[in-house]
């Protein structure tokens, strides 16, 4: 009976509201500031009602993190890939990911990284998410550069993720360049570097 209620439209709506509140609390106050009691009060429900969806704080934080790790894959999946136009592919992918990480998602991932350093539960989530992203990017590289071996695709995927991650961190720590011409110029530079690497690895 409980699983049926959780999957009902009302149950899904309540679950999403709880996760959204927890995500914002993570951003504003960090992991230590997340409280089931505070979230329940904010949403006007009882703690018992909240625990109907998430038994513990870590169950809730894990759900929020798992949801967040799907968003970069969704962004890449929305791009129309053209095997004959590597530049357009790279520009779209880099632009989508970096604009996403320039938002509060970048801060969210920094929190996730910190949690992964100290808790095996979150370290596994991070490792699984990272492996999934790398696998997806390897497949895209295979489309753009079909002559590369699997080992080279894997190595290049790791380099590309490192480039985008590093550039995104720069945006987060230099908030003045997070929008407009600043981030546009950085996206262009990263795209150019990636296209250069694709040429080298052919």
| 98-151 pLDDT per residue, tens | 888 888 888 888 888 889 998 999 999 888 888 888 888 888 888 877 888 889
Between CA 37 and CA 41, with CA 40 as vertex, the angle to 5 degrees is 85
Q: Does pTM top 0.85 for this prediction?
A: no
Model pLDDT, residue 177: 46
Alpha carbon distance 89, 85 (integer Å) = 6
pLDDT 10s digits, 20-58: 999 999 999 999 999 999 999 999 999 999 999 999 999
User: Sorting pLDDT into bands at 50, 70 and 90, what band is 165?
Assistant: confident
Q: Where are the alpha helices (DSSP H) in the chain?
A: 2-7, 9-29, 36-43, 47-51, 57-77, 86-102, 104-118, 120-144, 150-173, 180-200
């Amino acid at each position: 009976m409980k699983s049926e209620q959780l999957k009902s439209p009302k149950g899904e709506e309540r679950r999403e509201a709880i996760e959204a509140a927890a995500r914002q609390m993570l951003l504003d106050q960090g992991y230590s500031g997340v409280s089931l009691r505070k979230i329940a009060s904010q949403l006007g429900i009882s703690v018992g009602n909240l625990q109907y969806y998430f038994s513990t704080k870590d169950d809730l934080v894990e759900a929020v993190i798992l949801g967040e790790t799907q968003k970069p894959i969704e962004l890449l999946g929305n791009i129309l890939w053209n095997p004959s136009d590597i530049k357009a592919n790279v520009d779209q992918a880099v632009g989508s990911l970096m604009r996403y990480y320039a938002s509060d998602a970048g801060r969210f991932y920094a929190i996730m990284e910190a949690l992964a350093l100290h808790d095996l539960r979150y370290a596994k989530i991070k490792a699984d998410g990272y492996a999934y992203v790398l696998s997806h990017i390897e497949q895209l590289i295979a489309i753009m550069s079909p002559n590369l071996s699997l080992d080279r695709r894997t190595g290049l995927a790791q380099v590309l993720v490192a480039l985008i991650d590093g550039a995104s961190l720069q945006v987060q720590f230099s908030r003045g360049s997070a929008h407009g011409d600043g981030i546009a110029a950085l996206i262009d530079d990263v795209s150019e570097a990636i296209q250069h690497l694709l040429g080298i690895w052919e």
